[in-house]
A and B are shown apart, each in its own frame.
Chain A
Amino acid sequence: MTVSSEDAGGWRDIGAYLKSAGFRFAALFAVLFLAAMLGFALMLWWGTAGTLSRQIDDAIRADALGLQEAWRTGGVAAVREAIGERLAVDIDDHAIYLLTDEAGLRLAGNLDRWPAMPETPGSWSAEAVRRDGVVVPARLYRLPLDQGHRLLVGRDATDREKLRSLLSEALLWSFAVAVAFALAGAAALRRALADRLRAAAATASAIAAGDLSRRVPLSSQRDEFDQLGASMNAMLDRIDQLMIGIKGVSDSIAHDLRTPIARARMRLENALLSAPDAESLRAAMETTVADLDGISRVFQALLRIVEAEAGARRAAFAPFDLAAVLTDAAEVYGALAEERGLHLQTSWPDRLEMVGDRDMVLQAVANLLDNAVKFTPAGGTIRLSAGTPARGKRHVSVSDEGPGLTPEDRARAGERFFRADPSRALPGAGLGLSLVKAVAALHDGELRLRDARAGAERPGLEARLLLSSRA
């Protein structure tokens, strides 16, 4: 049992190995490498052994032409003479001739007998022939002669055969070496790929197992793998941020919604247990309904922030005129400011086109104005301005003459439910700036806070909302 299952495991491993992308890439490169090698071998063969063959054939052809001419002009005698002359000058002893009469008797030449070869005149063949008792490879050509005579011209091909065998041996060896190199290279490539991907795979499985803090380690090479790793990390950062956001909301719900719910519950219970008359019971219930309305408002605000933070609202982005939105907000809050004895100063260009979520931007501006009206004492001035600080950017600034924020509070402003000490007595839930921050992030921008009048007794607060004007 054990053995067979191990065997199965082994086969599975091999199967997995063969299926792996690393192996496929490596095999592809090995095949390409071997194909190049084969092409090189063919060229080499054609250039050496091939050239030699062609030279032999050319020599035979020239020889045959001469002998044919001799046959035409001088007949058998002339051919015999010519063969004799040629054999006499053939120092290398490569030439082969055989002239026979109609009976098959040798008239001239250096072959003992006619070799086995096709009978057709004008045909080429490669045969082993016996010369001086030695069998040698030869290239032979049979001339077309009349009157029953037969003439054979050839060349000893021993040298060529030697070269051929030498070459094929060398090529075979180098091919074997090439295959070995290709396999080794493929294995190395596969391993390199697997090594580079292992870190990412390990990170992914760690994250799947719940450890969201893991990131893909990047090498210094900045190659494709690092790009993949970097985008994975960016994705993970975003997921992390969203998770923190969700966790923040659940924490907020746990802490800051429980309190008002507890208050409402206590009020009801108290009324139920000890209200002296119907009138006070009714009053308690009315207050509780108002409390609950407050809770649902906070809830709504939280959901709105999450909506903005999740970035899902980007789908609703459309072009709109920021100037028109500000005119609208100034009109709504101008009346409120006037009623509280405040001045609202406004300044922005006639048109401020941008692409974004009009409703969200409007709410962000409304929240900033809300705060400004809330914190500025009577007689003060609120300034609302906007413009184009840089190409593709829009800014909206709201400054008030309120108590401002200490640097520590400023750093924490925008956290959900955070309220600086001076504002605790005023109505609000501490979510206004959170939404403004989320809206800024939704529009690739940011919220900057600073003293509106640094050094003054009431430094005020300038909230500068930077937005990208393009989607």
Chain B
Amino acid sequence: MQILLVEDDAEVARFVQKGLQEAGHIVEHVANGRDGLFLAAVEPFHLLVLDRMLPGGVDGLRIVETLRSQGNKTPVLFLTALGAVDERVKGLKAGGDDYLVKPFAFAELLARIEALARRPAMEVPATKLTVADLEVDLLSRTVTRGGKRIEVQPREFRLLEHLVRHAGQVVTRTMLLEKVWDYHFDPQTNVIDVHVSRLRQKVDRGFDVPLIHTVRNAGYMIRADA
């Protein structure tokens, strides 16, 4: 995947660039907003990672607003130190697709980048999602595995749906909190683990191959083990 990183802090940029390259992406880095806007407008990228506060007179918000007004729909992830709720709202309103506040864990950034990159393909309305022998029927909102019906609560269904939509990708706890529960803060106790473990009980118990995996220091992933 080709990613444009617009970040003025050299250390953060180096770290992000290196990490993303190791994960198999091609990363172009510029350190100011004007160059960033120029590159984003003329070259096709799969994803933009933008800092909010940038030198050069063009900040991250302006870049997104300008691109969106030109009909450019490249997914945008804001990577910024502006963490207040209002700032997040501003970023998403301007046309950003995700918002990650510094300091961040690289695993979190990578998971969000891969989730964003996968998104356009998911816009095709699917009625049934499958991972190995697990089937999630989005119309009847039922779950079956190996032909056997699994009873899940509505919230568990949404949790499973989210995991399955991102099958093969790491989904972090914060992403689940935001996307499944609409929580925009970190609860003190890790409530997500409890919910995932309950879901895992229902989905994996009694089957030889576990589908829901814990990825250490990152989050969860659903995948059919090779």
Which residues of A are at the interface with B, using a C-beta cutoff of 8 A?
A: 286, 289, 292-293, 296-297, 300, 303-304, 307, 312-313, 315-316, 328, 331-333, 335-336, 339, 359, 362-363, 366-367, 370, 373-374, 427-428, 432
Is A373 in contact with B189, judged by CB distance below 8 angstroms? yes
Q: Is the CB of B195 within 8 A of A313?
A: no
CB distance from A371 to the nearest CB of B (A): 8
Q: State which of A296, A303, A328 has its C-beta within 8 Å of the C-beta of B103.
A: A296
Which chain A residues lie closer than 8 Å to B187 at the CB level?
332, 366, 370
Q: Are A432 and B188 in contact (CB under 8 A)?
A: yes
Interface contact A428-B85, CB-CB below 8 Å: no
Secondary structure type dominating chain B contacts: loop
Q: List which B124-144 residues lie within 8 A (CB) of chain A.
A: none
B188–A359 touching, CB < 8 Å: no
Minimum CB–CB distance for B159 against chain A, Å: 11
Looking at chain A's contact residues, the main secondary structure is: helix
Q: Which residues of A contact B195 (CB under 8 A)?
A: 332, 335
Most chain A CB atoms below 10 A, which of B155, B185, B217: B185
Q: A332-B195, A335-B194, A335-B198 are in contact. Are A359 and B85 (CB under 8 A)?
A: yes
Q: Which residue of A304, A362, A374 is within 8 Å of B189 (Cβ)? A: A374
Q: Is the CB of A370 within 8 A of B155?
A: no
- B83 is contacted by which of A300, A315, A331 (Cβ under 8 Å)? A300
Please name 17 pairs of A and B residues whose Cβ atoms are closer than 8 Å in the assembled complex, sorted by A: A289-B105, A292-B103, A293-B103, A296-B103, A300-B101, A300-B185, A303-B83, A303-B84, A328-B181, A331-B153, A332-B187, A335-B198, A336-B191, A359-B184, A366-B185, A374-B189, A427-B188
Residues in B with CB closer than 8 Å to A307 are 84-85
- Asked if B86 is at the interface of the complex by the 8 Å CB criterion, the answer is yes
Contact in complex: B185, A332 (CB < 8 Å): no
Q: A366 CA to B194 CA in the complex, in Å? A: 15
> Do the beta carbons of A370 and B188 come within 8 Å of each other?
yes
B35: CB under 8 A from chain A? no
Question: Is the CB–CB distance between B186 and A332 below 8 Å?
Answer: no
User: In this complex, which of B83, B101, B189, B217 has the most chain A Cβ atoms within 10 angstroms of its Cβ?
Assistant: B189
Q: Chain A residue with minimal CB distance to B199?
A: A335
Residues of A within 8 A of B188 (CB): 367, 370, 374, 427-428, 432
B84 engages A362 (CB within 8 Å): no
**Closest Cβ of chain A: how far from B190's Cβ, in Å?**
9
In the assembled complex, the Cα of A107 lies from the Cα of B86 at a distance in Å of 110
The reply to whether B83 and A359 contact each other, CB–CB distance below 8 Å, is no
